[in-house]
Amino acid sequence: PRGAGEVIMIEGNAQVCAALQRQIAKLEANQVQAIHSSAEHWLKGDSMTGAFDIVFLDPPFDHLTSLPTTLRNLANSAMLAEGAVIYIESSSAQGSPVSDISCLTLNKEKVFGGVTARLYRYHHKD
């Protein structure tokens, strides 16, 4: 991740996470962490001191029912910097996962076959 001060990857699959960790070590990418956890669990328990500028969410399409809850928890946490960008990929069959989260504004949406990519901007609630 060129130019990033820190990168945190949350991966629910243990084998995929282990492969990510091997690649991180091989590349000596000391600013990158791969953590084996669900996003929901990690958001509830992490004690980060900083805030994210960019978030990528690409959940397994068979687990999309938890996406709105994950987004709500993320938006209500102190983990997003003002103006943070959130990129989400989801099944085109699913509607917008953030329709009721007022601090997220849709900036761009693009459909690629059965996948919809959405780019949101975060603004602190007043």
Q: Are 70 and 43 in contact (CB under 8 A)?
A: yes
Q: What is the pLDDT along the chain (126 residues), one digit of tens a residue?
A: 566 788 888 898 999 999 999 999 999 998 999 999 888 788 777 656 678 898 888 776 666 567 788 888 888 888 888 999 999 888 887 777 777 788 888 999 999 988 889 999 999 865
User: Could you give the residue ranges of the DSSP H alpha helices within the chain?
Assistant: 14-27, 39-45, 67-75
DSSP E strands: which ranges in 1-126? 7-11, 32-36, 52-57, 80-91, 104-112, 115-122
CATH class of 51-122: alpha beta
Find tokens 């900036």 and name the residue. 107
pTM over 0.85: no
Domain ranges of the chain: 1-37, 51-122
For residue 42, which phi and psi values (nearest 5 degrees)? -65, -40
